[in-house]
Amino acid sequence: MLQQSTGINFKPTKVESGYFICIDVTGSEDAIPAKYFVKNTNYEDESVPTNVKQMQFSDRYEKVPLDFAMCRYLAVEKGVACMPCTNFCLEES
């Protein structure tokens, strides 16, 4: 269902157990608008109040990682809340 509404081909990954459903979004960069890859910027409609804390990426990253960009896109434009896996492996965490 999500594939039809986004036009992105998700590849589920095989897991043995856990609380998360992981998907491989490799190769889907072209389906995500460029504004979601811009570092340290507000990508939401500024006329709508929000409590979202913007993730600040270090200079190590040229742009927002693909999984963060995908999660931003899905949340803002499709109303689907996701958590990027790289959130657990950034040097800041």
- Domain locations along the chain: 2-88
Q: Please write the tens of the pLDDT for every residue from 63-88.
A: 888 988 898 888 888 888 888 887 77
How far the first Cα of the chain sits from its last, in Å, is 33
Q: Please write the tens of the pLDDT for every residue from 1-38.
A: 345 555 677 676 676 766 677 788 888 899 999 988 88
pLDDT over threshold 60, residue 53: yes
Residue 28: burial class (beta carbons within 10 Å; 0-12, 13-18, 19+)? buried
